[in-house]
Every structure is written in C-alpha cells, then in structure tokens.
Chains A and B, each alone.
Chain A
Amino acid sequence: MKNINSQFAYETHQLMEGADVRLSFSGEFSPDLITVLLSMAKSNIGDKLVMKKVYNVMIECLENLTKHSLKIEGDQFPAIFLLGKDDEYYFLATGNKIASNEVNELETKLIKVNSLNKKELMLWYNEILTSETSSSFKGGAGLGIIDMALKSGNRFEYNFNKIDNYHSFFTLKVKVGQK
C-alpha cells in the first residue's frame, strides 16, 4: 500500500525552492494549460530580451510534450515541465515517457544538433524549410528542435532513463542565456 505522508508537500517544495524553480507542472498538458503557463512565464521574467527567448523555446518544449509524450492508458503523469534559474541562465526542463525504440533516433538528432554551430544550424533549418516535403507537418519535419537550439544558444543537456524494456523517460534541459 502506498502511503504518502504530509511531509511530501514540504519536501517537494524544498526541492523546487532549492533548484530555484519558478514554474512547474506535472501531468497532462492541454492547450488551455499551455496558454496559462506561457502567460505566467511572461510575467515571471522581468528582462524582456530573455523573456522573448524563453517564450520561444518554451512553446517548442511544450509542443514537444503534447506531441511526443507516450500516452499510456490510465497514466496521469505522462510529462513534466519546469522553468527555473541557474546562476547564469534561465532553464527549461522537460521530461516525458517515450517508447524505447524511439530513443536511438532522438538521441542521434540531439547529438547532431549539439555538434553544430549557429551557422550550421541555420543552414540545416533553411534546408528543411525550403524542402518540398511540405505535407509532412506532423513533427514539423524537425524544425522545432533546431529552432530551440538557435534560440537557446547553448548545448542541450539530456538523458534517457530506462523505465522497463519498452519505455524510457526522456529528460531535456535547455538553457537560455542572460547576456
């Protein structure tokens, strides 16, 4: 029998406070919720320049969560989103379940994005933008992840945590500079 004691809320709060988390949600992400989270993030970040960058990256992050989270019947917590602040950066962190057989493709893509500089990322972006495969909009043809890297200006940090043979939990941290 699971029995969470009342300290759980305190401990979670302490954990969030310690990591300077400004905004978080764990559960199912609906379009209405995304609108609310975005407007909260807007009012939370004072610096307009940073806010615009965070806003851009955040929309792509949340879209990825709604699009790519593995939906398992009865699962109340398919994904988590956090917006927080490190010493020098705002960070956006997401976590979602994915099928294990998708790990390789995603990791290959992340390695590629992390290996490219701004100019190379822009070239790749333009290549996809102008390609004729305009009917394959399901995943945005991969523009989102390149866009996030361009707006962030920092390398992605990520991890895949094995849940069982068929499922993994994918975490991604995107930093947005203060400048």
Chain B
Amino acid sequence: MKSLRVKKGDTTPELDFDVDKMEFLLEGESRSEDVLIFYEPIINWLTNFKEWFLKNESSKKLDFHFKLEYYNSLSAKFIFSIFKILKEMQVKGLEINVFWFYDVLDEDLLECGEEYEKILGFKFEYIAL
C-alpha cells in the first residue's frame, strides 16, 4: 500500500497519509468549493487502506493528526466520512489515536471536534496550541 500525499493548495489543506510510519496528517484550511474533487479520491484511498489493513495487520497502531485550522461546511461531511472510516477500523481492532489540534482561543473548533467525537463514539486527544 502506497502512502498518500497531497500538497497544500490555495483553498485545500496539506495531506500526508504515511503508511510506513502509520502517521496521518491533515493540515491547513479546507475551504474549496470543489470539495468533491478534493475529497473523493481521499475517501476512496482510505476505503482501500481499510481493506488492506484488514488483510495485512503488520501494524496495529495509527496516529491521525487533525490540524485543520478552518474547514467550510462543504468539507464537514467529508471530514465526517474520514472519521467514520477510521472508526470502522478501530472497531476491527486497529488502535487509532486522533489528535485534534486547535488554537487555544478557538473554542468553536474544539466544539466541532467534540461533536464528531460524540456522534461517532470516538475518543479524541485535544491539543491546544
């Protein structure tokens, strides 16, 4: 399974899903109006990754660093889809740590994380910057 890397764009975040280290990163801003074009390949990749993981349990631990400073409402559903897939992997036995980074002043972003947590029954670690 090859890692997935996407460079930061004007309205899209940087993405680094490193399969060798089992460290995933999503960082920056996600405010593209063409969210489908950006997120669809990512969701597809993650779905494949999930299948690959289930067959190949070489590593049981994955760290997901969520460092989006801002995401628009169009991105929210895709972010939800990402966490949903991660949750499915957790249910299958993978140890998944989600680190949710937020600016200490940005309580809205903290609340967003807590909502995803609540909906999915997923425990996040919060890191205030």
Contact = CB atoms under 8 A, between A and B. Distances in A.
A67 B32 CA distance: 12
A140 B73 contact: yes
A55 B106 CA distance: 12
Interface residues of B, number: 20
B81 interface: yes
Given A53-B108, A129-B119, A66 B31 contact: no
Nearest to A137: B36
Contacts, number: 62
Contacts of A144: 72-74
B126 interface: no
Interface of A: 31, 35, 48-49, 52-53, 55-56, 59-60, 63, 66-67, 122, 125-126, 129-130, 134, 137, 140-141, 143-144, 146-147, 150-151
21 contacts: A49-B105, A52-B108, A55-B70, A59-B70, A59-B72, A60-B73, A63-B72, A67-B33, A122-B115, A125-B115, A126-B115, A126-B119, A130-B80, A130-B119, A137-B36, A137-B74, A137-B77, A140-B73, A140-B74, A141-B77, A146-B73
